[in-house]
Amino acid sequence: MVTENPAWVPLNATEIEDLVEKFTKEGVSSAMIGMILRDQYAVPNVKLATGKTVTEIQAARGVKADLPADLSQLMVRAINLNTHLKANPKDISNKRGLANIEAKIRRLERYYKDNGVLPTTWKYSLANAELMLK
């Protein structure tokens, strides 16, 4: 297991943090930022290079997203599946899929409220998700 940043990484910690801030302001998700840094900037592990994760860097720089990435991605999936179901109302298996996705969203909502990531007044609904994300 690697415990320190490799010597061949071309960027120092402040340059990596600047890139994370730049990509966040452009609307790139934290997972995509890690992939971009790995593939285009030869940074194999942000935490080893900087001592912080991508989300910790975002929070420290004050450019953190309103919603956690996993929750917003599930909401996008629910929105897309709902538009599919409007066009195909007899698609029973995808109705169940939408119910499962919404159940995951509600579990994550409860988790994030308990941990203080989301305010206690935040409530998921498909209509609000469409307004927030599109």
Q: What is the pLDDT of residues 35-77, one digit of tens each?
A: 999 999 999 999 999 999 999 999 999 888 788 889 999 999 9
Same domain, 51 and 17: yes
Same domain, 85 and 57: no
Count the alpha carbons within 13 Å of 9 in the hemisphere toward its beta carbon. Answer: 20
Number of structural domains in the chain: 2
Q: What is the CATH number of the domain that holds 118?
A: 1.10.287.10
Mean pLDDT of 129-133: 85
Same domain, 121 and 75: yes
Mean pLDDT of 11-25: 93
Q: Is residue 44 included in any domain, yes or no?
A: yes
Same domain, 49 and 104: no
In the 3-class helix/strand/coil scheme, how is 15-74 assigned residue by residue?
HHHHHHHHHHHCCCCHHHHHHHHHHHHCCCCHHHHHCCCHHHHHHHHCCCCCCCHHHHHH
Same domain, 45 and 28: yes
**Residues 101, 81: Cα–Cα separation, whole Å:** 9
Closest CA to 68 of 130, 119, 131, 134: 119
**In b/e form, how buried is each residue of 54-63, taking b as 16+ CB within 10 angstroms?**
bbbbbeeeee
Q: Which residue segment(s) compose the domain that 37 sits in? A: 13-61
Mean pLDDT of 108-118: 95
pLDDT at 132: 82
Same domain, 74 and 57: no
**Residues 53, 51: Cα–Cα separation, whole Å:** 7
pTM for the full predicted model:
0.78
Same domain, 93 and 75: yes
pLDDT of residue 112 exceeding 70: yes
pLDDT at 107: 97
Percentage of the chain modeled with pLDDT above 90 = 75
Same domain, 77 and 113: yes
pLDDT at 67: 87
Q: Is residue 2 included in any domain, yes or no?
A: no
Phi and psi at 43, nearest 5°, equal -110, 100
pLDDT at 134: 66
Same domain, 30 and 76: no
pLDDT of residue 5 exceeding 90: no
